[in-house]
Each structure stands twice: as structure tokens, then as C-alpha cells.
A and B are shown apart, each in its own frame.
Chain A
Amino acid sequence: GDSVTQMEGPVTLSEEAFLTINCTYTATGYPSLFWYVQYPGEGLQLLLKATKADDKGSNKGFEATYRKETTSFHLEKGSVQVSDSAVYFCALSIIQGAQKLVFGQGTRLTINP
């Protein structure tokens, strides 16, 4: 079945460091790919998305490129801030009627000043 595997956490970085959170997927069709973020005490928010191969999603300085050849959608940011501390979830959806999302297990990111 469809699945998403994320880099194990927790990840701790210093402010202004470069961030990569790895995400790979297995899917029978052609999924859309997403990164969701969950800030402390808040609900899940869509961070960025890509709907086809080679698309790059970007938002708030974060980027991820849909790589079909490596079945990956790694999240990157060039210079993280303390306010980026959150749990990040990679997800895919195969739109066949329902746009069901399949999530990875999440990666907790802590940024120290």
C-alpha cells in the first residue's frame, strides 16, 4: 500500500542553520505530495505542496522538490529560526474520489537561539 517514511527525530539545530528533513514515499499511482506543520498547541497547517514530478513547493522560506526518480520530497530551509520549532509531517495523496492523505510519522524540530 501507499506509505510515507520520514527522517527520524527529534532534530535539534541552532538558529540560522541549514535544515533538511528527509521524506520518501511508496505509491502505486501518481501522488500529490505535501508538507504539513504542527506548531505547539496548534492544529496541522499545510506548509507546501507539489502535484507532479519536478514541481517545487515553497512557503515561508521552506522548499521541497517532487523527485519521482528517487520517490522523495525532502524539506529544506536555508536559515532556520526559533519560530520554526514544530512537528513536520510529510504526506501524500492519491486522488481517486477521496483525497485521502497518508502521513509519515512526523519529525519534531527544535531550534535553539
Chain B
Amino acid sequence: GAGVSQTPSNKVTEKGKYVELRCDPISGHTALYWYRQSLGQGPEFLIYFQGTGAADDSGLPNDRFFAVRPEGSVSTLKIQRTERGDSAVYLCASSAQGSYGYTFGSGTRLTVV
């Protein structure tokens, strides 16, 4: 596609439930990133994929968070046993090999009630 697509754009879930957030990067972009943006803050790095593998997952806050990219294109961020503190905008971005700067998606606003 022309840009990075994230679905859903909004997700409201109950505390304790499981959620999946999807990211469809720009075609041909090998690098994919997930960030989390809390209200009034800048985005914070969660995880980076180069191809199918998670090359750096140092930003994942705990083991309730997991992400996959099985075919090197679409990625899914999975959050188990959601907590109210997980409420944020989850951003996905992709970049081409060797380029500076990313293209971000519009994000998924997750609200845990």
C-alpha cells in the first residue's frame, strides 16, 4: 500500500482481556517498529523487526507483550491480560534498508476499561 496501515484505529477492551493490534507496512520495507505513545508523551520504542525476526525487543515492558511478523510483512502486537496502564496509542512504522527516518502509521488507540 501507499502508507503504513494499522487496524483497528480504536480498540476498547476490558481489563484482563487479550488484544491483537495489526500493522501492514509499506511494501518492500524490511524494517518494522512498534512504539507506544502515552498521553502527553513522545513515542517509546517497543520492538524492532528486520525481516521475520525480532532483532530487538528490549522495549517490551513485560512478558504480557509479544509481537510477531511471520512472513516478513504484516506484524501483530499481542497483549495478554490487559491492564488499565496499557491504555495508549500504539504506533507502527516501517523503513527501507539504509534509509533514515521512518514512515509511521496513524496508530491504534487502545483503551482498557
Chain A interface helix/strand/loop/mixed: strand
Is A98 within 8 A of B43, CB to CB?
A: no
Of the candidates A34, A45, A101, the one having the most CB atoms from chain B within 10 angstroms of its own CB is: A101
User: Cβ of B95 < 8 Å from any Cβ of A?
Assistant: yes
Chain A's interface size range is 20 to 34
Chain B's interface size range is 20 to 34
Q: Which residues of B contact A97 (CB under 8 A)?
A: 50, 55-56
Is B42 within 8 A of A91, CB to CB?
A: yes
* Contact of B100 (CB < 8 Å), options: A4, A49, A106: A49
Is A98 within 8 A of B91, CB to CB?
A: no
> What's the nearest-Cβ distance from chain B to residue A53, in Å?
15
- Given the complex of chains A and B, what is the CA–CA distance between A89 and B41 in angstroms? 10
Nearest-neighbor residue (CB-CB) of A6 within chain B: B42
Is B41 within 8 A of A106, CB to CB?
A: yes
User: Cβ of B1 < 8 Å from any Cβ of A?
Assistant: no
CB contacts under 8 Å to A, within B25-83, are: 31, 33, 35, 40-45, 48, 50, 55-56, 59
Q: Mark A91-102, 1 if CB is under 8 A from B, else 0.
A: 101000111111
Chain B residues in the interface with A (C-beta under 8 A): 4, 31, 33, 35, 40-45, 48, 50, 55-56, 59, 91, 93, 95, 100-107
**Shortest beta-carbon contacts, A-B, top 6:** A103-B42, A43-B106, A98-B48, A44-B104, A46-B101, A98-B56
- Please list 23 pairs of residues, one from A and one from B, whose beta carbons are closer than 8 Å in the complex, sorted by A's number: A4-B42, A36-B104, A42-B106, A43-B4, A43-B91, A43-B104, A43-B105, A46-B101, A46-B102, A49-B101, A89-B43, A93-B100, A98-B50, A98-B55, A99-B31, A99-B48, A100-B48, A101-B45, A103-B42, A103-B44, A106-B40, A106-B41, A106-B42
Chain A residues in the interface with B (C-beta under 8 A): 4, 32, 34, 36, 42-46, 49, 51, 89, 91, 93, 97-106
